[in-house]
Amino acid sequence: MGISEQLKKEFTTFTFVLIAVAIVLNIAVGQLVSLLKLPIFLDSIGTVLVGVLAGPWAGGLTGLLTNLIWGVITSPVAAAFAPVAMVIGITAGLCARYGLFRTWWLALLSGVIITVFNAVVAVPIRLYMFGGITGSGADFVTAYMLALGRDLFGSVVVTVFTANLLDKVVTALLAWGVVKALPGRTTARFPGAQSVTS
């Protein structure tokens, strides 16, 4: 299947509605977690859900738009991490396409895979745009590592990986649970759902 056919299959009317709902969900949950200064983010639940149900391109678009909109509304830091959010959606969609959301333990594995790709993109942004500190609850880990005498690069790598590992595993499991709970007539409207529900 070519790229244009794949895009037509992913971007249905139902997909665009799902993307809109997912963006609101991402921003609302992410803002709440940010206000509470929790050491995880939970701002990509909608992105992963779209990636799983509609496919990697729709998931990537959801993540990208979430962070760009969030950046305009309240948090310029979120806009800087738009490429990271896009990678999360694409990776979740690809994991689902290859059957890695069929069971809870495969969803857990997907969370680990998403974390790895997330870290590859997030570490340079966190280091070179923000000097390692972004104002999130995860900064505690960076400060702790620096206090132990670690260098900034190593501290940021540890921070990004550890904070995101828990976050993305929880996010992937939540997305898996939501998809499994949806009625068949709903999941049938989305191209990626059969790789999860079958």
Question: So what's the pLDDT on residue 197?
Answer: 67
Structural domains in the chain, sorted by start:
3-192 (1.10.1760.20)
Question: So what's the pLDDT on residue 190?
Answer: 86
Single pTM value for the model: 0.91
CA–CA separation, 140 vs 146, rounded Å? 10
Q: What is the pLDDT along the chain (198 residues), one digit of tens a residue?
A: 667 777 777 888 999 999 999 999 999 998 898 788 776 789 999 999 999 999 999 999 999 999 999 999 987 888 999 999 999 999 999 999 999 999 999 999 999 999 999 999 999 999 998 888 887 767 778 888 888 888 888 888 888 898 899 999 999 999 999 999 999 888 888 877 777 766
Question: So what's the pLDDT on residue 154?
Answer: 86
Instruction: Annotate the chain with DSSP letters as a single string.
Output: --HHHHHHHH--HHHHHHHHHHHHHHHHHHHHHHHHT-SS----HHHHHHHHHH-HHHHHHHHHHHHHHHHHHT-HHHHHTHHHHHHHHHHHHHHHHTTTTSSHHHHHHHHHHHHHHHHHHHHHHHHHHHTT--SSTTHHHHHHHHHTT--HHHHHHHHHHHHHHHHHHHHHHHHHHHHHHS-HHHHTTSTTTHHHH-
What phi and psi, each to the nearest 5 degrees, are found at residue 78?
-60, -40
Neighbours of 11 (CB within 10 A): 17
CA–CA separation, 57 vs 54, rounded Å? 8
What phi and psi, each to the nearest 5 degrees, are found at residue 44?
-130, 20
**Residue 149 tokens, joined:** 């005498």
